[in-house]
Structure 1
Amino acid sequence: MIRTALDTLYLVAGWLAGGFLILIFVLMMVLSAGRPLGINVPAGDDIVSWCMAAMAFLGLAHTFRSGEMIRVGLLIDNISGRTRHAIEIAALVVGCGFVGFFAWNAVVMTYDSWRFLDMTQGVLAIPLWIPQLGFTSGLVILAIALVDELVWVVGGRAPRYEKPKPTTAEEVVEQAIQSGV
């Protein structure tokens, strides 16, 4: 039950990131094509920048869980067994610490913006906590994903974010194609 809920949370965050990407595209096209036609979107650049932050941060947990985050495995790829497992746990603990700290401070900042009635600056004055929700939510969901993965790996299982190594030349080519190399 909780596994399904967490996987759904990561997937919904990924879909929201995709929705913000589409919104950025539409706004940029309207801003670009609208200028010669006399169409003006007040604060369009501000809205695009808020959508960009929301897109980037909301997509983090889904990207992490899909094994698509950039991972430097120079050291760990040559290690196996219990040592590798311990290094994975240590890396997840450090990741949980950093992302947890970042998420906590983002939540505090967003809460303070709400509490002090901070408003955005520019043409469109809206409460500042509204555009801050995108990156704050993304960080909190990433922190949840990291803790979820830490619990999984501490339980003695292999990390779910790690893709299996290719065994044939075709699999190497397929992974290269999927990664965009």
Structure 2
Amino acid sequence: MAVRRLLDGLYLGSGYLSALFLVAISLTIVAQIIGRFFGVAIDSTESAGFSLAASTFLGLAYTFRHDGHIRVTLLIRLASGPLAKVTELWGVGFCAAAMGYLTYWSFDLVYFSYVFGDISPGLLAIPFWIPRSAMAVGALILTIALIDELIGILRGQTPSYVANSSALFKDGGDD
């Protein structure tokens, strides 16, 4: 139970961070607009882009757990019994492996960005390892969520994205 609460807290915290980066996007754009009235150049394009990447990746796990991702359930609906479970396991397992691969290379990118001192070319000159860290951490949290889901399916539990899906899509109309 403690692990479940910890993981759910991780996914929820990641979702809140994602929302904060959405707020950061709006704040940087508003700052740019206000800056124009006073003749001050504020480069919101770069910081808004970095915030968008952070928001996207940090929001992946929370969105996955709450059935916000698009899933094509045609094969799973056609299968029944053990075949449906195998199909679900294959889909989640494949995604976990793919995200694990992406996560590894994301952290590799962060490391080498830090080592080589890569700096963004805009007015702010932000070290690239900072925004890339948000991408890597978001990918890691989604990988954890996928492995968590895989273990749950192996234990015979209903996948969280099925249990948390809205009533609108319970009839299978989400293909």
Q: TM-score, normalised by structure 1?
A: 0.85
| 1:71-116 Cα deviation digits (max 9, x unpaired) | 1112222322111111000001110111111111001110111122
Quote the residue 1:29 is aligned against: 30
Measure, in 1, the Cα distance between the counterparts of 2:165 and 2:117.
Answer: 51
The range that moved more, 143-152 or 119-128, is 119-128
Distance 1:163 1:78, change over 3 A: farther
Q: Which has the higher mean CA deviation after the structures are superposed, 121-130 or 2-11?
A: 121-130
For residues 3-45 of structure 1, the C-alpha deviation after alignment (integer angstroms, 9 at most, x for no partner) is: 111110100000000000011012112223432442431x321
The structure-2 alpha-carbon separation of the partners of 1:59 and 1:88, relative to structure 1 and needing over 3 Å to count, comes to: same
> Which consecutive unaligned segments of at least 5 residues does structure 1 have?
177-181
SS class of match (1:114): helix
Aligned to 1:10: 11
Match for 1:162: what amino acid?
A: V
Is the CA contact 2:67–2:165 (under 8 Å) kept in the aligned structure 1?
A: no
Cα separation, 2, equivalents of 1:130 and 1:62: 22
Contact 2:89 2:154 in 1 (8 A): yes
- Taking only aligned residues, the RMSD between alpha carbons, in angstroms, comes to 2.0
Specify the alignment match of 1:50 in structure 2. 50
Give the aligned length. Answer: 169
Residue in 1 aligned with 2:60?
A: 60
C-alpha distance in 2 between matches for 1:164 and 1:136: 26
The aligned amino acid for 1:14 is G
Query: 2:118 is matched with which residue?
Result: 118
Q: Deviation per CA, 1:105-131, whole angstroms, max 9, x where unpaired?
A: 001110111122222222222321111
Q: For residue 66 of structure 1, report the CA deviation from its aligned partner.
A: 0.8
2:45 is aligned with what amino acid? D
The whole-number CA distance in structure 2 between the counterparts of 1:33 and 1:82 is: 60
Q: Provide the identity percentage.
A: 34
Q: 1:107-146 alignment to 2 at 5 Å?
A: 107-146=107-146
Aligned partner of residue 161 in structure 1, secondary structure: helix
Separation in structure 2 between the aligned mates of residue 158 and residue 124 of structure 1, nearest angstrom: 47
Residues 123-132 or 145-154, more deviating: 123-132
| Structure 1 residue runs of 4 or more that deviate by more than 6 Å after TM superposition | none
The amino acid of 1:84's aligned partner reads A
* Aligned counterpart, 1:80: 80
